Amino acid sequence: MNSASMPRQLLQLQLDGGEAVPAILKLPAVRPAPGVLLIHGFTSRKEAMADSFGRALAVHGVASLAIDLPLHGAREGGIEGMSLRNPLALVEKWRLAVKETSSAVRYLAGHSAIDPRRIGLGGYSLGAFIGVIVAAESPLVRAIALAAGGDLPEATPFASIVRAIADPLRAVRRLAGRPLLMVNGKHDRTIRPEQANALFAAAGEPKEQRWYDAGHWPPARAITDAADWLAAHLGESAVRSRRA
């Protein structure tokens, strides 16, 4: 079987006793495998990450777990009237999303088919914001790839409240030497280049930033590059190097 056609499992995860979280798990035949948690963007769903980023990771024999964030995908409710520019409306769900994403990292690390020393995180847009917050808190995450990620826009309403809850700059400084890749669009008008540059500047080494000649959604080449990068940083040789 071609590794890119890795079979998927549709799951309903019970994380910390809360509501069920729909998820897609892809596991390779060779185990224990490295695993990457995938976090989608605003108004998106787990399938968008599983069918793009997850497929690119599968080529390398890397497992992936993509989840639906609160109010997204197959979960009850909806996102009508909610916006990243209306932060007070997102506070409660933001806290839930961070809690569930942290639990999903632990679920992935505890899976019998996954090597807990080789856990990565891939986040897109809103998923990049959540991902850097979660990675900062979880030493289980060994490598982080953020697509269309950056700092909060200067015009964010109630910016002081938002930063008190989730400050990307403060979080990225706490990655404590874990490798970070940022891939951003030169023409992105949602997460603008100056926001991407601010987050990248705040991060410590090792770090790398790559630009694609497009807007908010990264082209296939950028997704493949990010998957290649994660696979390389979660490989056995990378683990041995970190332990040396």
CATH homologous superfamily for 3-237? Alpha/Beta hydrolase fold, catalytic domain (3.40.50.1820)
What integer pLDDT is reported at residue 165 of this predicted model? 77
d(CA 44, CA 72): 7
Those residues whose C-beta lies under 8 Å from the C-beta of residue 104, and which sit 6 or more positions away, are 13, 15, 21, 23, 37, 65, 67
What integer pLDDT is reported at residue 2 of this predicted model? 45
What integer pLDDT is reported at residue 95 of this predicted model? 86
What integer pLDDT is reported at residue 162 of this predicted model? 67
Q: What string of pLDDT tens digits covers the 244 residues of the chain?
A: 345 568 899 999 998 767 899 999 999 999 999 999 999 998 899 999 999 999 999 999 999 999 999 989 998 665 555 555 555 666 778 888 999 999 999 999 999 999 999 999 999 999 999 999 999 999 999 999 999 999 987 765 556 666 777 899 999 999 989 999 999 999 999 999 999 999 999 999 999 999 999 999 999 999 999 999 999 999 976 655 555 5
The distance of Cα 41 from the centroid of its chain, to the nearest Å, equals 9
Which residues are 157's β-sheet partners?
A: none
CA dihedral 183, 184, 190, 195 (to 10 degrees): 100
d(CA 5, CA 54): 10
Sign of the alpha-carbon torsion through 168, 145, 54, 240: negative
